[in-house]
Amino acid sequence: QQQVRQSPQSLTVWEGETAILNCSYENSAFDYFPWYQQFPGEGPALLIAIRSVSDKKEDGGFTIFFNKREKNLSLHIKDSQPGDSATYFCAASANNNRIFFGDGTQLVVKP
């Protein structure tokens, strides 16, 4: 059973637009939600993360909106740049248990 689901599978936006990447999860025990960014030929790297006690987390142009009741969250990339083109993984974990990754959203930002 897929623990973390992401949509869309791929997303194309124009430079300067806000890209919105969605994520939902099944396990109510999940309390930590990191987003990892992966460029081609590299490993994923932590971008931003939120804990379930918060409903919003901002870092630079990246914002996570979290809805605990609906068990979903979204990553907003404001003023997208071509350099933001990458695959974004939503992940989730509960306490000290392992991290579950979603299938990723491939983002393309066109100049």
Interaction site with another protein (CB under 8 A): 32, 34, 36, 38, 40-46, 49, 51, 87, 89, 93, 95-96, 98-101, 103-104, 106
The DSSP bridge pattern shows strands 10-14 and 105-110 to be parallel
CB of 28 to another protein, least distance (A): 17
Rank residues 17 and 59 by Cβ distance to another protein and give the closer one.
59
Rank residues 83 and 96 by Cβ distance to another protein and give the closer one.
96
Of 100, 99, 83, nearest in space to 3 by CA: 100
Rank residues 9 and 69 by Cβ distance to another protein and give the closer one.
9
From the DSSP assignment, how many helices (H) and strands (E) are in the chain? 0, 11
The DSSP bridge pattern shows strands 86-92 and 105-110 to be antiparallel
